[in-house]
Chain A
Amino acid sequence: IAGITQAPTSQILAAGRRMTLRCTQDMRHNAMYWYRQDLGLGLRLIHYSNTAGTTGKGEVPDGYSVSRANTDDFPLTLASAVPSQTSVYFCASSANAGQGAREQFFGPGTRLTVL
């Protein structure tokens, strides 16, 4: 079934540890996104990639890094986790970015708890 997968589903992490959240899509979408969702707040964009080989910073990029080596994969890395990074993380993709931006498709999310 075409779509977006994320791993892990959930994770409890000690503060200071390094963690990579994985995201893979098989829809051959050009654009991919990482959001965090916290109670009472809207989805906030962490990083994005308009096409393979390029990345950009969103609204809340500090403490996170991404790479886009190919079309399908867009991992998000927390170099040294802090408790404020406790959140639900969603990966999303869309066929195109910019003027072609339309519907975004979301992965099932990763629930991360940093202690």
Chain B
Amino acid sequence: GQNIDQPTEMTATEGAIVQINCTYQTSGFNGLFWYQQHAGEAPTFLSYNVLDGLEEKGRFSSFLSRSKGYSYLLLKELQMKDSASYLCAVLDSNYQLIWGAGTKLIIKP
């Protein structure tokens, strides 16, 4: 079966750095996405990785290792508005997105 694993919840301090991990086992791989979802709102796109390595976009970076079935999202200089759920999703061999349950990130002052 297909499976995406992420921690259920993480806590971090404002101004700090946090890394959210995602491991996946899917039938095929055509890219990995990270989305942000604030409570009661729709998911919004953060990043897309299809090749190994680090993609940096402002305070957010995303890393992919296809051989390890592993990705992480790195958030720097945390702000209170970063409190949200972060969803990892993999585009499988049928080009359908398989979603993890999401990691709820709590930022404390």
Chain A residues within CB distance 8 Å of chain B = 40-45, 48, 58, 90, 97-99, 101-109
Contacts and interface: CB of A to CB of B under 8 A. Distances in A.
B5 to A, nearest CB: 10
B45 A43 contact: no
A104 B45 contact: yes
**Could you say which of B31, B91, B98, B99 has the most chain A C-beta atoms within 10 Å of its C-beta?**
B99
A39 to B, nearest CB: 9
User: What class of interface size applies to chain B in its complex with A?
Assistant: 20 to 34
A2 to B, nearest CB: 14
A89 to B, nearest CB: 11
A80 B41 CA distance: 27
Contacts of B33: 103
A24 B91 CA distance: 24
A46 to B, nearest CB: 12
Given A43-B87, A102-B48, A103-B48, A108 B99 contact: no
Interface in B81-106: 87, 89, 91, 95-102
A44 B99 contact: yes
Secondary structure at chain A's binding surface: helix, strand, loop or mixed? loop
B4 interface: yes
Given A42-B99, A98-B95, A109 B48 contact: no
Contacts of A43: 43, 87, 89, 97, 99
Given A48-B96, A101-B95, A40 B44 contact: no
A42 B45 contact: no
B44 A106 contact: yes
Interface string B11-49: 000000000000000000011010000000111110010
A43 B100 CA distance: 8
B30 A101 contact: yes
B41 A108 contact: yes
19 contacts: A40-B101, A41-B101, A42-B100, A42-B102, A43-B89, A43-B99, A44-B99, A45-B96, A45-B97, A58-B96, A97-B95, A98-B95, A99-B95, A102-B31, A103-B45, A104-B45, A104-B97, A108-B41, A109-B41
